[in-house]
Amino acid sequence: MSDAVHRPAEPGREYPISPLFALDTLWFQVAGTLCNLQCTHCFISSSPTNHSHEMLTLEAVKRHLAEAEALGVKEYYFTGGEPFLNPEIFEIIEATLKQGPVSILTNGLLIRPDAAASIRQLSDASEYSLDIRVSIDGYDPRTNDPIRGPGTFHRILTGIGNLAAAGLNPVITVTEACEGAGSQEGRLRFLEFLRSVGLTRPRLKVLPLLRIGAEAERSRAYESWETLRGRHLTPEEAGILQCSSCRMVTSQGIFVCPILIDYPDARMGETLGDALGPFELRHQACFTCHVTGFSCRT
Amino acid sequence: MTPTVDLGSFDRVAFFGGIYSNHLALGEALKLARSRKVDAIVALGDFGAFGPHPDRTIEILREASLPAIQGNYEQALSTGAEDCLCGYTDPRDNYYAQLSYDYTRTRTSAEHKAWMGNLPGHIRMTVGGRKLLLCHGSPRKVNEFLWRSMTPDPFIRKLLRDHEADVIVCTHTGLHWKRLIEPGRGIVNAGALGRPANDGQTHVWFTIVEEQEISPVPGEIQVEFVPVPYDHERLAREMAEESLPPEFIETIRTGWWTTCLEILPAKERALGKH
């Protein structure tokens, strides 16, 4: 975790810079901003009607995979929106698993028994890891459903159960919108809860909130002091930031990271080759990444 | 840390991955490697952690004058770091890692810590005409985990290109594996002498890399993972006497990892019991 030591910015530069040390992690916004849910804390405000970013086609993914192969990318992540809404998702997973390990961020609602079985098959057929990450926001409907939507708690658990029945052990992610999840006590309580729903070896990742998109309305937006303006990061501090080793592919082009896809100035080009330069950390979400030492990676 | 050392040219070399204070396995591995007529034995770092009496391992290593590189443990101990620099991200992983580190730090002599500080971070050598680059985690980072299921061929090509090597030999994950993307080019993870490979077997592993003498393809190398049985019950008793966590002792007795599990990728995790 970064201790967020305050260092003055380089002369003539208002915000610190995050260099791209190596393109290790490539994200695909496979479902665009289209989702079957409309969570109140979504930092890109995904919903059934948000077309800011459209779904990626298999053909588009393959085009970027070819570029990623030449660049020596180490791992791939799929997100949205809800990735399993993409009609070509299984073909996309299969094509990507031929080239490297894959993690998929899902809300779990579309993981019916046949989908779970297909995921298991794809996982077994590859020499690389396939990780499924399912989001939930509470220990019960009372805590989860106000954020993710009425009835979602039980539907998420059904999806998790289907994965477990197929012999897969998903990573469960919970945001700090779930009260207490960030504390050691809350964490242990969550692990116990996951054991109680049939995950014998529970894997848990707790995510901080990003006060942009819908979340800025649900709780609060960033305050003016929550910024990296006037600071300088050491290479070690920059190395902790995900943007120093990742890029995000969406239907609108290549963005610096999975978080800033709604900001035109975070778009770095049309191809990966366009997007290998440094990024100025002028967004307030960059403050959260630096201060918490958090990464979207599993 | 001292600059990269070039040891020269060899025919058959044994590589010892993380030893984690398993001085009993180290003693057996030395005998076994010598019986296999290797012309060099190299230790790839992480001599301490997990096991009992850390100085015993260092004394065996120094007595044998093995070429060695710094792992994250040697970096941490020689610089007085507050944690082991293992690179874990999960609180449970970090909890057990800290127990190991605190135990090892207080029982490693200042003289041995100074010796660790003078080890190189990388070693280069040639085996069968192939350029080997030895590192602890990866050539670019001492605590980068190179797992089999997370190290794809395009990434291996990039590492070999960036670091001007034919073969990268590493450890840090505790699991041995190899992937040769073409004859004589790829990555070899030497595994660990310190704890079993999370497969329900109590033995531990080292790795031999040698020239493939009879091969239709020039420059082909042969990689062999060598199991090392040792008196694991004795090690378990020593660990209990030192009040090391019962979870660690269970791993030595059963061959299944009980801690530092969260860092495992999906495929490797699925192969274990916990």
Binary contact (B154, A127; C-beta < 8 A): no
A271 vs A96: CA distance, rounded Å = 18
| Structure token digits, residue A134 | 């399912």
In A, which residues are within 8 Å of B268 by CB distance?
129
Does the domain formed by A17-292 have CATH 3.20.20.70?
yes
Residue B82 lies in a domain: yes
pLDDT mean across residues, chain A: 94
B157, B161, B266 member nearest A130 (Cβ): B266
Binary contact (A100, B91; C-beta < 8 A): no
Strand locations in chain A, DSSP E? 17-18, 25-29, 75-79, 102-106, 130-135, 171-175, 203-207, 246-250, 253-255, 267-269, 279-280
Find the CATH number of the domain harbouring B135.
Answer: 3.60.21.10
Q: Are A191 and A253 in contact (CB under 8 A)?
A: no
C-alpha A48, offset from chain centre = 18
Confidence check: pLDDT of A13 > 90: no
Mean pLDDT of A287-293: 93
Q: Work out the minimum CA distance from A70 to partner chain B, whole angstroms.
A: 7
Binary contact (B265, A129; C-beta < 8 A): yes
Given this model, what pLDDT does residue A2 score?
39
- Please, is A142 exposed, middle or buried when counting C-beta atoms within 10 Å of its C-beta (0-12, 13-18, 19+)? exposed
- Chain A residue with the nearest C-alpha to that of B273: A201
| Structure token digits, residue B256 | 């299944």
Does the CB of A72 have a partner CB in chain B at under 8 Å?
A: yes
A178: confidence class by pLDDT, cuts 50, 70, 90: confident
Given this model, what pLDDT does residue A1 score?
35
Residue B274 lies in a domain: no
A7: confidence class by pLDDT, cuts 50, 70, 90: low
Mean pLDDT of A232-240: 92
| Strand arrangement of the beta sheet that strand B5-10 belongs to | B5-10, B123-127, B130-134, B167-170, B185-190, B176-182
In B, which residues are within 8 Å of A69 by CB distance?
154
Q: How far is CA A2 from CA A295, B106, B151, in A?
A: 12, 26, 27
Does the CB of A183 have a partner CB in chain B at under 8 Å?
A: no
A87 vs A59: CA distance, rounded Å = 13
Where in the sequence is the domain holding B103, given as residue range(s)? 5-265
Residue B271 lies in a domain: no
B150, B161, B266 member nearest A169 (Cβ): B266
Residue B226 lies in a domain: yes
Greater model confidence, A179 or B95: B95
Which is nearest to B145 in space by CA: B231, B236, B46? B46
Mean pLDDT of A207-229: 94
B33 vs B30: CA distance, rounded Å = 5
Given this model, what pLDDT does residue B172 score?
97
Binary contact (A74, B265; C-beta < 8 A): no
Percent of chain A with pLDDT over 90: 86
Q: Are B155 and A74 in contact (CB under 8 A)?
A: yes
Residue B272 lies in a domain: no
Mean pLDDT of A11-22: 89
Q: Work out the minimum CA distance from B153 to partner chain A, whole angstroms.
A: 7
- Chain A residue with the nearest C-alpha to that of B145: A74
In B, which residues are within 8 Å of A101 by CB distance?
149-150, 152, 265
Binary contact (B266, A129; C-beta < 8 A): yes
A69, A130, A201 member nearest B274 (Cβ): A201
pLDDT tens readout for residues A64-119: 999 999 999 999 999 999 999 999 999 999 999 999 999 999 999 999 999 999 99
Q: Work out the minimum CA distance from A102 to partner chain B, whole angstroms.
A: 9
B74 vs B48: CA distance, rounded Å = 8
- Chain A residue with the nearest C-alpha to that of B162: A72
Name B35's Cβ contacts closer than 8 Å, sequence gap at least 6: none
Does the CB of A237 have a partner CB in chain B at under 8 Å?
A: no
A74, A130, A168 member nearest B155 (Cβ): A74
Q: Work out the minimum CA distance from B34 to partner chain A, whole angstroms.
A: 34
A140 vs A103: CA distance, rounded Å = 26
Q: Which residue has the tokens 């070399």?
A: B13
Greater model confidence, B254 or A11: B254
Given this model, what pLDDT does residue A162 score?
97
Count CB-CB contacts under 10 A for residue A73.
26
Given this model, what pLDDT does residue B191 score?
98
Helix (H) or strand (E) segment spanning residue B126: strand B123-127
Greater model confidence, A237 or A11: A237
Overall domain count for chain B: 1
Which is nearest to B131 in space by CA: B142, B139, B143? B139
Which is nearest to A108 in space by CA: A165, A172, A167? A172
Confidence check: pLDDT of A227 > 80: yes
Confidence check: pLDDT of A4 > 60: no
Q: Work out the minimum CA distance from B47 to partner chain A, whole angstroms.
A: 25
Given this model, what pLDDT does residue A272 score?
98
In sequence order, the β-bridge partners of residue A26 are A76, A247
Given this model, what pLDDT does residue B100 score?
96
Residue A185 DSSP SS3: helix
- Portion 109-168 of A in contact with B at CB < 8 A: 123, 127-131, 167-168
Query: CA torsion, points B167, B171, B177, B183, in degrees to nearest 10?
Result: 0
Residue B270 lies in a domain: no
- Stretches where chain B sits below pLDDT 70 are none
A5: confidence class by pLDDT, cuts 50, 70, 90: very low
Given this model, what pLDDT does residue A9 score?
61
Confidence check: pLDDT of A198 > 70: yes
Binary contact (B150, A127; C-beta < 8 A): no
Given this model, what pLDDT does residue B112 score?
98
Q: Work out the minimum CA distance from A168 to partner chain B, whole angstroms.
A: 8
Given this model, what pLDDT does residue A298 score?
85
